[in-house]
Structure 1
Amino acid sequence: MRRGQASALFYCLLSHSSHSIRCLENRYDTIHLSKKYDNSRCWRLSDRVFTYASDTFIKREVRPNERWLNLWGEPITAPWSAERLQNEAATLQFISEHTTIPVPKVMSFEKIWGSYQLVVERIDGIRLNALEDDEEALKIATKFITTSVLPQLRELKSPTIGSLMGIVILPPRAKPFLPHKEKSWPAKTSFEPEYSFCHNDLSLDNILIDPYTREVKAIIDWEYSGFYPPGFEAPLWTMRPARQEYYALGAPEIQCLVDFLSDPDAVSFQSHN
């Protein structure tokens, strides 16, 4: 699939709507306004609200009236919130059509009351990070990632760097290397298809496994995915985020990429290096 086809797919998903989903959305808003979140069904971060329904998982942007405030009473906004969710919706469909990597099926993607909402099928599994010190589970997941996930992603090539939405949004681990806060760049196109598809946040939290068999059920959270240099996919699943070394993984590649993106005359990442 070419980038233009992916964009067309995104707008097709955006135009799809569901009455049942809207009913659920109304219920979630009521839960939020009453501040009675049920932690087993619904929870939130500064820029996202997550909800489990009987057979779906819903991930949406927070609305302006739901934003948390900082110490100065100003609304807290996350960079590129809408673009990241748009990218995930398009990527899930893209990956399901071009690989055998298990990902949640997209049920709908639409804009409701000014915020984007992604609805996917619910996957019965637990995050790998929940199984502390389970070496067998980590061994199985590592083998699956290195022998199935990464080889398939590397086969997806493009001459244009960046997300399927046409912009470059680097993952959180790149923040210390950014020249400016909340930095993003327009996509660059080289002469050859030198970029491979990367998940860019392939951590223990984003690998769902069967708690009994330890088999991988799905790879989730593709908000920062896109076409990048092959070495940019850091092995984040090999350690927990609490360890300081986690944020140093892939540091040289990040610095090289930031330098390349910041150079207005650089066209090819390979020639830049």
Structure 2
Amino acid sequence: MATKSYSNINSVYTISPHTFEKRSRTLAEYLSEPRGQIFFDARPWKTERITNEAKALQLLAERTTIPIPQLIRYGQNNDGSMFLEMSRVDGVDLLSVASECRKPGGVRHNNGGECNKCLEIAQANAMHFIKTVLLPELAKLRSNETGLDGFVIPPPWVVESVDTRPHWEVKTSLDEEFVFTHGDLNPGSLIMDPDTLTVKSVVDWEHSGYFPPGFQKWSLDMDAYYALFEDQQAILELIRSIEP
């Protein structure tokens, strides 16, 4: 395949035959589009998110068996943006599995178009993976400090919904009571093997770090995931649990 690039409000992505690169967007890139300055101001920790994900990939590769992209390199560009280069993982995210019949086992469920049966199979496999592999592996990683390596970025349902403070202090404890969390686990974070509909890789670790166990929230349904943003009472209680 040819190298191609695309972007969203958060980052710019470049896919090559063997690598996948994510980098933070610069102010100039934001200013080139409508409401660019507003979008730029509304997205905190642009470079820190990239660094946090790189450090998470290093930690997970060293201390877990969780399938993740291989970290190749990360650093800062001359324009101030931060980049993260990883190995490319072929597959389809769980959010897109139902776009066509994937023929698991060579058996086609329909004659074309969306396939809810494939989605059901993939969701069941993903649920099994999360409960038997991902969560047990993350539960082994514990710390007496919140965040990761001195940087704290709570999940999106905290920082994009209730509390927009520009900085979060590290909370310390006498015990290793904080567990490593993905922070943004949803169908888009799971790359599935299109032939077997099993989990091939877990991606998007920008919001990961050590937090109280109650922060280990996730969903395989996007409506349920977005509902996490609306439960403000629960979010406020969790925020109090990480304040020094």
TM-score, length-scaled by structure 2: 0.82
Corresponding residue for 1:225? 208
Matched, 1:80 2:45: yes
2:19 to 48, 56, 59: 56
Match of 1:121 in 2: 87
Q: Deviations over 1:84-136 (max 9, x none)?
A: 11000010011011000000001111211221110000001110000233101
Deviations 1:136-160 (A, max 9, x none): 1000011001111001101101010
Give the Å deviation of 1:45: 1.4
User: Which of 119, 129, 154 is the aligned partner of 1:170?
Assistant: 154
Segments of 4+ in structure 1 off by > 6 A? none
1:185 is aligned to: 168
Q: Are positions 1:148 and 2:114 aligned together?
A: no
CA spacing shift, 1:45–1:161, aligned 2, 3 Å: same
Residue 252 of structure 1: how far off its partner (Å) = 5.2
Identity of aligned residues (%): 34
2:211 pairs with 1:245:
no
CA distance, structure 1, for counterparts of residue 170 and residue 155 of structure 2? 15
Aligned-residue offset at 1:254: 2.6
1:245 Cα deviation after fit: 2.9
Structure 1 residue 261: deviation in Å? 3.8
1:64 is displaced (CA, Å) by 2.7
Q: AA paired with 1:165?
A: D
Q: 1:200 aligns with which of 171, 183, 191?
A: 183
The alignment of Structure 1 onto Structure 2 pairs a total of residues equal to 220
Instruction: Provide closer, same or farther for how the CA distance between residues 224 and 154 of structure 1 changes in structure 2, counting only shifts above 3 A.
Output: same
Q: Residues 140, 176 of structure 1: CA spacing in aligned structure 2 closer, same or farther, 3 A cutoff?
A: same
Alpha-carbon distance in 2 for matches of 1:201, 1:254? 14
- TM-score normalised by length of structure 1: 0.74
**CA deviation digits over 1:199-219, x for unaligned, max 9?**
011100010011110111100
Contact 2:146 2:242 in 1 (8 A): no
User: Residue 182 of structure 1: CA displacement?
Assistant: 4.2
For structure 1, list consecutive stretches of 5 or more residues without a partner in the other structure: 1-37, 267-273
In structure 2, list runs of 5 or more residues that go unmatched. 99-115
Tell me if the contact between 1:92 and 1:105 (Cα under 8 Å) persists in the aligned partners: yes
1:5-57 deviation digits (Å, cap 9, x = unpaired): xxxxxxxxxxxxxxxxxxxxxxxxxxxxxxxxx9x921101231001011000
Aligned to 1:104: 69
Q: Is 1:209 aligned to residue 192 of structure 2?
A: yes
**Within 2, Cα distance between the matches of 1:73 and 1:200?**
26
Could you tell me which residue of structure 2 aligns to residue 67 of structure 1?
30
Q: 2:145 is matched with which residue: 151, 160, 184?
A: 160
Query: SS in structure 2 opposite 1:58?
Result: strand
Asked if structure 2 preserves the Cα contact closer than 8 Å seen for 1:201 and 1:236, the reply is no
Aligned to 2:103: none
Pair 1:70–1:257, CA change in 2 (3 A): farther
Task: Indicate the RMSD between aligned Cα atoms, in angstroms.
Answer: 2.3
CA-to-partner distance for each residue in 1:59-106, whole Å, 9 max, x for gaps? 001123212467667363211111111000010011011000000001
